[in-house]
C-alpha cells in the first residue's frame, strides 16, 4: 500500500497513468499542498484554480513559465543548456505578464479567432477523411500515429505556409521541445531542436518579407512591422510565436484525440450516442476536454508571499494549478467522473482561464470536432488492441500511442 505522501502526490508513476484518484483526495483533504517531489504547491479545487489563473498580478506567468521552460522541472535536474539570446524571446510569448502580455496577445491573436479559422473547415474535413482512410487501411492501426499527430501537424504547417516535406521535421521538433517537460529527454537534444526551429522560422519570416503569401506568417509580417516601433513585433518575438503555435497546436490536439478515444473505450455507450448523431461532436469535445484534457497543470510563481484560501505560499515558490483536477470538482460538475457527451460543460479550464486562455483553442476544437464527426458519420467504432502508452509528464496528459482495432 502506498504511504500517505504517495497517495496525495500527483507526480508519481501511478498517478501518470491515472491521476484522478489522487486529485480526488487532494480536493477533499489537501486542496493546496506542497510536494517535495516537484518542489511545488498544487492547487486542486476549481474555485482556487480559477482564482490563481485570474490573478496574473500575484501569480506570475513570467516567473512560473520561465522556471518551467528552463528545463529544470524536477528537483536536482540540470538546467537547460544556454541558447541564443533570440531564442530566449520565446518566454515573451507564453510567459509574459501585463503589460507585455497585453501587447503580444493583441498583435498575434488576429488570425486565430473562431471567425478567422472558419475557412479552414473544408480543408480539415478533407484531411480527416484521408487520415481515417489511412487508419482503416492500416495493418496495425494506431489513433495517434495515423490520425492524432498527422492532423494538427499538417494543419499547423499549412496555416504557417510550411512545405509538406518539412512536416516530419515539425513533428520531431515539437516532440523534442515538449519532451523536455518530462525530465527524461536529453536536454542537448531539446536545445538542438530549439535552435533548428529558430533558424527555420527566421528564414521563413525573411522570405515572407520579400514575397508575402496568404499564410499566417505573412499576415503577421504585414500587419505588424518587424523593423520599428515600440508597439510592433520584433523578429525574435515573431519567431517565438511561430514556435509556440507549432508546439502548442500540435501537442494539444494530439493529446485531446488520444485522451478522447481512451475515454470512449471506457464509456462505449457515449460513442454509441455520437454514432447515432454525429452533429453532437461539438458539445462532445467540450465534455471530452473536461473529462480528460490535454494539459494537467501549468506553472505560476508569486513574486511576494501569497495566500490561497488559508494557505500561505512563500515568495518564489512554484505553484501548479491542476486543470484536470478542477475539471472534476463535484462542486462545479455533477457526477464528474462520468463521461457524458450531453453535458456540454462551459466552466471547464482545459484550455486555461483568463488572460492566458489558450490562443489556439478554437483551432484545436475545430480539428477534434471534425475528426469525431468524420469517424461517427462513417460508422467507425474503435476498440483497444493493446494498452496505450501514457505520456510521462507532470504537465501534459496524453498517450504516445493508442493501438486500436477497427470495428465497422
Give the domain extent around 247: 4-407
Domain count, the chain: 1
> What is the reported pLDDT for 46?
98
Query: Tens digits of per-residue pLDDT, 235-282?
Result: 877 887 888 787 777 888 999 999 999 999 999 999 999 999 999 999
Residue closest to 287 by CA, chosen among 273, 305, 306, 299: 273
- Indicate whether 233 pLDDT > 80: no
d(CA 112, CA 105): 11
Query: Buried (b) or exposed (e) across 110-124, using 16+ Cβ within 10 A?
Result: ebbeeeebeebeeeb
> What is the reported pLDDT for 105?
72
Query: Buried (b) or exposed (e) across 38-77, using 16+ Cβ within 10 A?
Result: bebbbbbbbebbbbbbeebebbbbbbbbbbbbebbbeeee
> What is the reported pLDDT for 116?
84
pLDDT, the chain, mean = 85
Which DSSP string corresponds to 200-240? HHHHHHHHHHHS--SSHHHHHHHHS-SSS-TTS--HHHHHH
pLDDT (average), residues 102-116: 75
Confidence of residue 100 (pLDDT cuts 50, 70, 90): confident
Q: What is the CATH number of the domain that holds 165?
A: 1.10.630.10
Residue closest to 344 by CA, chosen among 283, 271, 280: 283
- Indicate whether 362 pLDDT > 80: yes
> What is the reported pLDDT for 70?
57
pLDDT (average), residues 206-218: 88
Residue closest to 340 by CA, chosen among 351, 328, 323: 328
Amino acid at each position: 500500500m502506498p504511504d500517505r505522501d504517495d497517495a496525495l502526490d500527483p507526480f508519481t508513476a501511478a498517478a501518470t497513468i491515472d491521476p484522478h484518484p489522487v486529485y480526488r483526495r487532494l480536493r477533499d483533504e489537501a486542496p493546496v499542498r506542497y510536494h517535495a517531489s516537484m518542489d511545488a504547491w498544487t492547487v486542486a479545487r476549481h474555485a482556487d484554480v480559477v482564482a490563481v489563473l485570474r490573478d496574473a498580478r500575484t501569480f506570475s506567468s513570467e516567473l512560473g513559465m520561465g522556471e518551467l521552460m528552463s528545463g529544470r522541472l524536477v528537483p536536482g535536474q540540470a538546467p537547460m543548456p544556454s541558447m541564443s539570446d533570440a531564442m530566449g524571446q520565446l518566454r515573451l510569448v507564453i510567459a509574459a505578464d501585463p503589460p507585455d502580455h497585453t501587447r503580444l496577445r493583441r498583435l498575434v491573436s488576429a488570425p486565430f479567432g473562431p471567425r478567422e479559422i472558419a475557412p479552414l473547415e473544408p480543408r480539415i474535413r478533407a484531411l480527416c477523411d484521408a487520415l481515417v482512410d489511412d487508419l482503416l487501411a492500416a495493418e496495425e492501426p494506431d489513433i495517434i500515429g495515423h490520425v492524432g499527430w498527422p492532423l494538427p501537424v499538417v494543419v499547423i504547417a499549412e496555416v504557417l505556409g510550411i512545405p509538406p516535406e518539412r512536416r516530419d521535421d515539425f513533428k520531431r521538433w515539437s516532440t523534442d521541445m515538449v519532451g523536455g517537460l518530462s525530465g527524461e529527454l536529453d536536454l542537448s537534444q531539446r536545445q538542438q531542436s530549439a535552435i533548428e526551429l529558430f533558424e527555420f522560422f527566421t528564414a521563413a519570416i525573411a522570405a515572407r518579407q520579400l514575397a508575402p503569401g496568404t499564410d499566417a506568417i505573412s499576415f503577421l509580417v504585414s500587419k505588424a512591422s518587424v523593423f520599428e516601433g515600440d508597439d510592433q513585433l520584433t523578429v525574435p518575438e515573431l519567431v517565438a510565436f511561430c514556435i509556440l503555435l507549432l508546439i502548442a497546436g500540435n501537442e494539444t490536439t494530439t493529446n485531446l484525440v488520444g485522451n478522447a478515444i481512451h475515454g470512449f473505450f471506457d464509456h462505449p455507450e457515449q460513442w454509441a450516442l455520437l454514432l447515432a448523431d454525429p452533429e453532437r461532436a461539438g458539445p462532445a469535445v467540450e465534455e471530452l476536454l473536461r473529462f480528460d484534457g490535454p494539459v494537467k497543470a501549468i506553472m505560476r510563481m508569486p513574486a511576494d508571499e501569497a495566500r490561497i484560501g488559508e494557505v500561505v505560499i512563500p515568495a518564489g515558490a512554484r505553484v501548479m494549478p491542476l486543470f484536470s483536477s478542477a475539471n472534476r470538482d463535484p462542486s462545479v460538475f455533477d457526477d464528474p467522473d462520468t463521461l457524458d457527451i450531453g453535458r456540454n460543460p462551459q466552466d471547464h479550464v482545459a484550455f486555461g482561464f483568463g488572460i492566458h486562455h489558450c490562443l489556439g483553442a478554437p483551432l484545436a476544437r475545430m480539428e477534434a470536432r471534425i475528426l469525431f464527426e468524420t469517424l461517427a458519420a462513417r460508422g467507425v467504432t474503435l476498440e483497444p488492441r493493446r494498452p496505450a502508452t501514457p505520456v510521462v509528464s507532470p504537465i501534459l496528459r496524453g498517450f504516445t500511442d493508442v493501438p486500436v482495432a477497427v470495428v465497422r
